[in-house]
Amino acid sequence: MEPLYLARESRVHRLSPEVKIAAVLLFTIVVVVTPREDLTAFAGYTLLIALVAGLARVPAGWLLKRATIELPFVLLAVVLPFTGHGERVDWLGLSLSVDGLYGAWNIFAKGTLGVLASLLLAATTSMRDLILGLDRLRCPTVITQIMTFMLRYIDVLIDDARRMRIARLSRGYDPRFLWQVKAFAVGVGALFLRSYERGERVYLAMLSRGYSGRMPSGSGSKAPAAEWVVSSALPVAAAGIAVAAAVLA
Amino acid sequence: MDDVQAMHIANGIINGPVSAIFIAIAMAGLAVCVWRAKLDLDDRLAPMAGLVAAFIFAVQMLNFQVLPGVSGHLLGGTLAVILVGPWVGALCVSTVLIVQALVFADGGLTALGLNITNMALIGTAAAYLLVALLLRVLPRSSRGLGATALIASVIGVVVAAMGFVAEFALGGTADLSITAVAATMAGTHTLIGIGEGLIAATTVVTVAKVRPDLVYALRAFRAPIRAKAAVA
Amino acid sequence: MTAALKITGLTFAYPDGREALHGVDLTLAPGERVALLGPNGAGKTTLVLHLNGILHGGAGRVEISGLPVTPGDRKAITEIRRRVGVVFQDPDDQLFMPTVAEDVAFGPANLGVRGDELDHRVTEALTAVGMLEHRDQIPHHLSFGQRRRVAVATVLAMRPEILVLDEPSSNLDPASRRELAEIIMSLPVTVLMVTHDLPYALELCPRSVILDAGRIVADAPTGELLADGDRMAAHRLELPFGFDPSAIHRR
């Protein structure tokens, strides 16, 4: 299962997963702690994202389309200018709260930048590499192990679910409302058992080949220092922008 | 404000300091879970944990129409605690949240602490305590098990939602009335909880009928089968 | 000479109380190819999972080239799982890595093999099953017969001493079936083949044993066993229509 992975040849793709995870994490932290009034800083961050997207050869359209995942939160933000308190401004005949406008901007800007950064990570790193990266970042084995099986099972579930859904649809039934949940759940129980038994066999086969809870890291080795330096450019640049914006303001 | 659609909190909804505190809380909670899970995670539980995680992942993709204009997705914490126990269960939910944040950009990375605290720690803890209580009180039948799953789901989901309300009260960046947020969250999530409960109950009852040996809660609280053989 | 496989008095019951093995004794000499026959539910798969210590807990003893299977001892169990290569019935259960080469590398990598040596193992194993040119493909894009051969390669890469094949010929078309037979015969390892495919057993294995109700109930040269109509019928084993084992000249 590689929902968002874009198989391309690029410098960003070639970076080790652990340095990319760390860079995105630090970048997001810088974005979140930036005061909402520092509009120039947010413009700078957007530029950085565009730069990385260019380096990674990820098309802007692809990014923007998938960024709509945060739409519910943007909608939450839309009401703020109307419900906010304090000083108000008039715009196109609407009375809007200044504080509410900043609140909305805050959610929109930070949410969007965070989503874009994560999307870039997902686009340039396969799921398996992400797990490897987390493992190298000292994520507990229990978690990476659950993740590994989760990936394997998602494929199994999707396969089984597709078959069951086709069978259900061909009988003219497509439950999607809460009160139809019972019928849906019955199918889900069966799906669960089927998938478990298949996954159990997969697991036994893995054990038989010497699996002991940790995926062998295979070809890749730990990220060289140079990669850490290169990838730190993103959060360092972001931090620079944040400081510069604060100083200018 | 009837668009509390995804329960995953995005970056920037809750302010930096509060997010940071909850990252610390989540990490401490997860550390305990990892430590306890290692004792639980035998070779039968490992693939089960993966399946539960995959399953939660899948059901979280389904958005149910709760009311016109309002939809919500399921959390899966109760299903996890019944099938794999509280420690591994919390890790399953966390794993899903981490993957969603990293790979689907669903839920902010800096909000991961908040999301894990609500859904993986608070929600599953509430669900597990209820499961532990109800399985002792209710009849030892599949109906009793189903009812346990249903009740624990509804309450677990609402408690998790209240975690968000508390965080919002502490560090919400948007100027909204807390009572309104609390009322919306509670209302929406009661309905989500019922949907979740029905799915959890049916799934657990189905599994318990065919493979009772796979249900952690039954092993822990009803334990009729003395396992003679071990799988490793 | 140390036996490649020595099972003595093996019993096992599943947690639900169902007894699966009832005192199994079986010895395989190094280099032997033996077919394990028996009706559904006889305990064949249960027996196979005991050979590498995945199932354990009953009475009895399993030894692989003199090394006892001791489930508690992680190090010994790793060595056992290197020595015993199990090829499962459904190749889709066995193959899960993104490319053929990575899947073949999974086993030896778990054993700590790295770098050039790992590469060499992968090439060697894929060459043995004639799948080298597919090394960079996605396993699920291969035909069923090819996937089964890759599944065999994933196990060969661990350089096992005993190859255990669970229903190797199931779902294979005649050509794939023959190709796989040629591969198996060319391997310098001890083979234990679980199968319902009696002609295949006759073709590949000079010796056959029948497992029924958790016990070994027959152990004889395959041709003799298949020709013994009464004994076959008693254990729900049937030859395909028109197949006469005595008419086949063993190679």
Whether A111 contacts chain B with CB within 8 A: yes
Q: What is the per-residue pLDDT across B162-201, written as a single tens digit (0 to 9) for each?
A: 888 888 888 777 767 778 878 888 888 888 888 888 888 8
CB within 8 Å: A216 and C158: no
Q: Are residues A128 and A145 in the same domain?
A: no
Q: Are residues A60 and A169 in the same domain?
A: no
Whether C88 contacts chain B with CB within 8 A: no
> In percent, how much of chain A has pLDDT > 90?
10
User: Which segment of A71-75, C17-21, C125-129, C194-198 scores lowest on mean pLDDT?
Assistant: A71-75
**pLDDT: which is higher, C176 or B75:** C176
> Mean pLDDT across the stretch A178-193?
68
CATH 1.10.1760.20 matches B16-219: yes
In a domain, C120, yes or no: no
Number of other residues whose CB lies within 10 A of the CB of residue C187: 15
Please check whether residue B84 is in contact with residue B111, taking contact to mean a CB–CB distance below 8 angstroms: no
Q: Are residues A191 and A75 in the same domain?
A: no
The dihedral formed by the CA atoms of C226, C231, C236 and C238, expressed in degrees to the nearest 10? 30
For residue A154, what are the domain limits? 140-208
B214 to chain C: closest CA residue: C15
Name all contacts of B134-138 with Cβ < 8 Å and 24+ positions apart. Answer: B135/B217, B135/B218, B135/B221, B135/B222, B136/B221
Question: What DSSP designation does C240 have?
Answer: P
Q: Are residues A204 and A145 in the same domain?
A: yes
Instruction: Give the model's pLDDT for residue A37.
Output: 83
Residue A156 has pLDDT above 60, yes or no: yes
Q: Name every chain A residue with its beta carbon within 8 A of the beta carbon of C116.
A: none
How many structural domains comprise chain A? 2
Please check whether residue A209 is in contact with residue A190, taking contact to mean a CB–CB distance below 8 angstroms: no
The dihedral formed by the CA atoms of B117, B121, B127 and B128, expressed in degrees to the nearest 10? -170
In a domain, C19, yes or no: yes
In a domain, C171, yes or no: yes
In a domain, A19, yes or no: yes
Instruction: Give the model's pLDDT for residue A158.
Output: 76
Neighbours of chain C (3+ CB pairs under 8 A): A, B
In a domain, C105, yes or no: no
Distance of residue A210 Cα from the nearest chain C Cα, in angstroms: 6
Q: What is the mean pLDDT of chain C?
A: 89
In a domain, C20, yes or no: yes
Q: Are residues A98 and A33 in the same domain?
A: yes
For residue C17, what are the domain limits? 5-90+160-247
Q: Taking CB atoms and an 8 Å cut-off, how many pairs form between chains A and C?
A: 57
> Mean pLDDT across the stretch A1-16?
78
Those residues with Cβ within 8 angstroms of residue B221's Cβ, 6 or more apart along the chain or in another chain: B131, B132, B135, B136
In a domain, C126, yes or no: no
CB within 8 Å: C111 and A210: yes
Q: Are residues A179 and A109 in the same domain?
A: no
> Mean pLDDT across the stretch C136-144?
86
In a domain, A215, yes or no: no
In a domain, A217, yes or no: no
CATH of the domain at C78: 3.40.50.300
In a domain, A54, yes or no: yes
Q: What is the per-residue pLDDT across B95-126, written as a single tens digit (0 to 9) for each?
A: 988 888 877 666 677 788 888 998 899 999 99
